Chain A
């Protein structure tokens, strides 16, 4: 079968965007459901679509699960009045929500979702742009997301958003460093002498057919995870929003679809964050440590590709669950606590971790 590679890429891009947006919508539903279950409530259970909702047993079951809820949630954002307060800087005010969503969707380009193994045994990554600087690109672009938050806080021209924006930028700077240093041991291991140098996320995931990196670099994984929470502005690092003290932080002045963009952006960031954590530390699409699809003999063809994508998305969903689980467990840190944790604990810890692993990897390389 000969297909124009450009058309294939377009189709794949369309699928990825649709899947990510759907995942965002259902992440919102999952958040609402999980929060209500943890709090002993029922959660959204009324919305029903006319035809599917009317099917005898299935309809009420799906309605009770709230499966149809994301649709009215989204429509609500579209149809509400879009208020632009008179005191805002209009250009940046409108640009901010776009700036917060675009980086999240751009980073999807370098995230591989699975592998496709041809009959000849050739491994093709299921990724939009299989670039060698994947991880670097991802860090560079995803950090841009904070510009949306900062711009929103500044252009709103009122107190609470401004404070939210300042907090977000300070937090982003503090945790970006520790995050970057925490992944270095992984890159050291993947790029050991004698191997081909790469920062490609696909190759990093493929390098975990034995130990997953979370298992033999647990400290890196924990630091990276904590920083991920901070980078995605999730509780307990909810500094940008802090709804108990800053009304709702940077998006206080936003309404309707602009608020919707921020909202989707937050969840898109979470999804990308979960994907990256899965790729870097949880073995990508390897079902279990030391057990790859190749060993199981199920890696070939369409079935193997579907299986790898399924395992990857399953791990990603587990990570999303962790995000929500932690959110409904922990209260928010105080601002000074966030700063102290970032600068005086996580950063030194990640540097010590880097040095320790550098020594270990050097020793392993020279000894073996």
Chain B
């Protein structure tokens, strides 16, 4: 369906053109005094909306336990293959020996990462989160690979709703073996 937009014939004042220019000038003159809308970036930062997908990070639970159990699901799902995990085991004498596994190495190549958030979606432990940081920069390719230490530094601690492994351990202790 097509619309025909009717153009009104110009009035005499509009045909004279100069009054219309004056009108335009007065508009821009008012704009001259308005506050600029510029966000002066390095000093002023934008407010990050809820659910923003920034740089992927690893997080710890409120007890300070690293949540990743190196199941490598994120490594498999990652479309650009940016994640590389070397699994390792948790020593017998640790408080968290029942968790059994933790990553020995955890590298995310930020030159490959496409910020899709699939790693966060697939993680059964809620250990990998795309948080608020939106700019990554470095001078070399090596610098742009976030290792495990860097990832925990970026991630910090997030609140935990489940304490999955703690509950598992308690249940195991109560019923002796199975749950």
- Please list the residues of chain A having a beta carbon within 8 angstroms of any beta carbon in chain B: 34, 36-42, 45, 222, 325-326, 328-330
Count of B residues near A, CB < 8 Å? 15
A328, B30: Cα distance in complex, Å: 13
16 residue pairs from A and B, CB less than 8 Å apart: A34-B32, A37-B31, A38-B28, A38-B31, A38-B32, A39-B31, A40-B35, A40-B38, A42-B38, A42-B40, A222-B18, A325-B28, A325-B29, A326-B21, A329-B28, A330-B24
The reply to whether B27 and A41 contact each other, CB–CB distance below 8 Å, is no
The reply to whether B24 and A36 contact each other, CB–CB distance below 8 Å, is no
Distance between B41 CB and nearest chain A CB, rounded to angstroms: 11
- Please list the residues of chain B having a beta carbon within 8 angstroms of any beta carbon in chain A: 18, 21, 24-25, 27-29, 31-32, 34-38, 40
Main secondary structure of the interface of B (DSSP, over half): helix
A158, B22: Cα distance in complex, Å: 39
Distance between A64 CB and nearest chain B CB, rounded to angstroms: 10
A148, B160: Cα distance in complex, Å: 72
Smallest CB-CB separation from B38: which chain A residue? Answer: A42
Chain A residues lying within 8 Å of B27, measured Cβ to Cβ, are 329
A45, B43: Cα distance in complex, Å: 13
A216, B14: Cα distance in complex, Å: 25
A60, B29: Cα distance in complex, Å: 26
Known: A222-B18, A325-B29. A40 touches B24 (CB 8 A): no
Chain A residues lying within 8 Å of B25, measured Cβ to Cβ, are 325-326, 329
A169, B37: Cα distance in complex, Å: 40
Smallest CB-CB separation from A331: which chain B residue? Answer: B24
The reply to whether A40 and B31 contact each other, CB–CB distance below 8 Å, is yes
A328, B31: Cα distance in complex, Å: 11
Known: A329-B27, A329-B28. A37 touches B21 (CB 8 A): no
A299, B174: Cα distance in complex, Å: 105
A138, B17: Cα distance in complex, Å: 30
A328, B38: Cα distance in complex, Å: 18
